[in-house]
A and B are shown apart, each in its own frame.
Chain A
């Protein structure tokens, strides 16, 4: 091979190596901004408002209709407990949440929000027990979300709502 050709090959190899290094750095820089789920004001306001919703499940007597936050607490303390009308509290809670989220979030394949995920976990120290979890739509990665704690017994129930994009 002639000297000039050798030098050009060497030059091209240097460019390729620099491109690979630059791509690796770019990959790290972009990935780190994707991992964090932003706290969304909309998610937070929806979550807080949802927890105050009065359901049609009366706990103990009529008209002690429980709010979503109260039903979550009841469901955590005793998963077999029932509403006055005979429905299991956890099931009534699940149904109310599903209907409410379906009406309040416009999601779909061709929309910015592709799906959502709602969960409530009882946390005491390092232990964590799931109380309720529901999701709908396509949820490959959360775009934004919010958390709200509900005090319960000696620990707290952390409710979390995520919008998926």
Chain B
């Protein structure tokens, strides 16, 4: 009887030990699972932010394809008619047309300096069409800046950027 009691309590000890081992294993896998989930969630957040940024960049690019900026001489989606953009700069009616706080075209290569005016165009650095006070989170996209080079009578394209910011991006 005594042996039976001793064996039984030994058996209970073994079962308890097994239970603790199982709990430890479950806890271990749960911690590993939480770690993996947090890694995947942070990469999802990154992906969502990247997608939002890309959408804003595409909006910047799409403005370049509107009739106000599009280059009609040949089929070029990334081309902006710089002459048209310069004329738009003077038109007050277009200041609120796109619901943007910033709309600027900048020359990257070859570099130019200063804001374009009637006296220095096209040897200048940027054309600001819209610039309001509250500008935040501006996005930019590369574009080709094309115009007619009257001195040598040919169409010339340079590398530039279009910068936009504002509610029109949402």
Contact = CB atoms under 8 A, between A and B. Distances in A.
A53 B144 contact: yes
Nearest to B161: A104
A67 interface: yes
Nearest to B32: A22
B128 interface: no
Contact of A45 (B17, B143, B153): B143
Contacts of A26: 36
Chain A interface size range:
20 to 34
A100 interface: yes
A67 B159 contact: no
A62 interface: yes
Contacts of A42: 57, 141-142
Chain B interface size range:
35 or more
A28 interface: no
A100 B95 CA distance: 32
A15 B28 contact: yes
Contacts of B61: 41, 45
Contacts of A41: 54, 57-58, 61, 141
B109 interface: yes
Contact of B141 (A29, A45, A63): A45
B21 A11 contact: yes
Contacts of B34: none
Contacts, number: 76
A91 B61 CA distance: 31
Contacts of B43: 33
B18 to A, nearest CB: 10
B159 A50 contact: yes
Contact of B156 (A33, A48, A65, A100): A65
B133 interface: no
A33 B157 CA distance: 38
B68 interface: no
Contact of B77 (A15, A46, A48, A100): A48
Contacts of B157: 52-54, 67
Interface string A1-41: 00000010001001100100010001001000100000001
Interface of B: 17, 21, 24-25, 28-29, 32, 36, 43, 54, 57-58, 61, 76-79, 108-109, 111, 141-144, 146, 149, 152-160
Given A48-B77, A65-B154, 20 more contacts: A7-B17, A11-B21, A15-B28, A41-B58, A45-B57, A45-B143, A48-B142, A49-B142, A49-B143, A49-B144, A50-B159, A52-B79, A53-B159, A54-B155, A54-B158, A62-B152, A63-B152, A100-B109, A103-B109, A104-B108
